[in-house]
Structures are given as structure tokens and as C-alpha cells.
Amino acid sequence: MAAKLFEQLTRQYAESLLHARGLSPFTIRTYTSDLRSLGEYLDFSGIDPTHEFAREDLSSYLSWL
């Protein structure tokens, strides 16, 4: 459920980047790819992306990359 919501929010964010900020499709694809990678890590680690996560979680994600 949380992973599905994260994916939906990622799509909405991508749409806002296109319409509100006028970013190129390549830039948007790169941003969403990074967010999907983060979503995969959160799911893998059992971290609910609908709640705040700590700085340590982000550090762990960067190490996971």
C-alpha cells in the first residue's frame, strides 16, 4: 500500500515538474528514476515512505546505492 502511494506521489511530482517548472523530459526522467530507487530502498528496508524518515535512513540509502 505504501509503495503504491509512493509511486503515485512520484508520478504527481513528475507532472508538476513538467507543467509548473517546465523541465525537460530527460531531467524529469532522471528525477523520477532517483525517487523510484529511493522507494525501492524504503520498501526493501521496511521503512514506510508515508512517514518521515531520519537522516540515518538517508545515509543508509546512500550506502545502499
pLDDT tens per residue across span 39-65: 899 888 888 877 877 889 889 999 998
Q: Fill in the amino acid letter for 18.
A: L
Query: What is the predicted pLDDT for the residue at 47?
Result: 86
Banded model confidence at residue 2, pLDDT cuts 50, 70, 90: confident
> Grid coordinates in use for 8?
503515485
pTM of this prediction? 0.77
Q: Where are the domains of the chain?
A: 2-64
DSSP string, 17-35: HHHHS---HHHHHHHHHHH
What burial letters (b/e) apply to 13-29, b meaning 16+ CB within 10 Å?
Answer: ebeebeeeeebeeeebe
Residue 27 or 50, more confident: 27
Q: Rounded to an integer, what distance in angstroms lies between the CA atom of residue 23 and that of residue 60?
A: 29
